[in-house]
Structure 1
């Protein structure tokens, strides 16, 4: 009996200037070299003159290095909700602030210092 291969199709995603993305340098990845995946910020997008494919220019956030002509097939959007998950799920009712992540504590300190009216009302 023949085996059927399943393929995952990813919906076409377009990225905007300022989006934070995860990028994989596919050549380094397949060669087994380190440093093949990094976080970057989209600086611009453009269409290749010959292939008509949309490509992206990124700034690598860890080293502030420019990367040009990135194929979006090797990029994934890093949603803000994922980056802010620790703050959004911080145990605000815990008496011990050590139970909160450093990011949650920093967010609370910043908002308490600015204006306590922005915090949710305690019921």
Structure 2
């Protein structure tokens, strides 16, 4: 019987820049099974470890504004703005049931109408 090739998921190398918003894990808390191991952070800087030559990142945790130094990029993932804004972009703004809209869509609608506009913008084709 021929041997089946083994596949392994490979995370592409991503270089983050100052201001990028990322999801990151506290490695020790994660592997020990402790709660609150995953957070959202903003990249403050990158640097190269003197001994290992590995690029590490310093982040500000957005929930607590704590500074996290030396975060391994293997435990970070980008949070693209398009993903964060998808609920607004796809909101059913012509829906009569406000409860059917996501909270972000309702916030956008309230903000737009509070600026003195009683009409919605024209729909995009």
Q: TM-score by structure 2 length?
A: 0.84
CA drift of 1:82 comes to: 1.4
Q: Which position in structure 1 is the counterpart of 2:110?
A: 109
Runs of 4+ in 1 over 4 A off after TM superposition: none
Q: Which position in structure 1 is the counterpart of 2:73?
A: 72
Q: Which position in structure 2 is the counterpart of 1:97?
A: 98
**Deviation string, structure 1 residues 46-71 (Cα, Å, up to 9, x no partner):** 11122221110001111111100011
CA distance in 2 between counterparts of 1:75 and 1:115 reads 42
Structure 1, unaligned stretches of length 5 or more? none
Instruction: Give the number of equivalent residue pairs.
Output: 121
Q: TM-score by structure 1 length?
A: 0.86
Kindly indicate whether residue 22 of structure 2 is the aligned counterpart of residue 21 of structure 1.
yes
CA drift of 1:81 comes to: 1.4
How large is the Cα RMSD of the aligned pairs? 2.0
Distance 1:13 1:97, change over 3 A: same
CA drift of 1:9 comes to: 1.2
Structure 2, unaligned stretches of length 5 or more? none
Distance 1:4 1:27, change over 3 A: farther
CA distance in 1 between counterparts of 2:36 and 2:93 reads 37
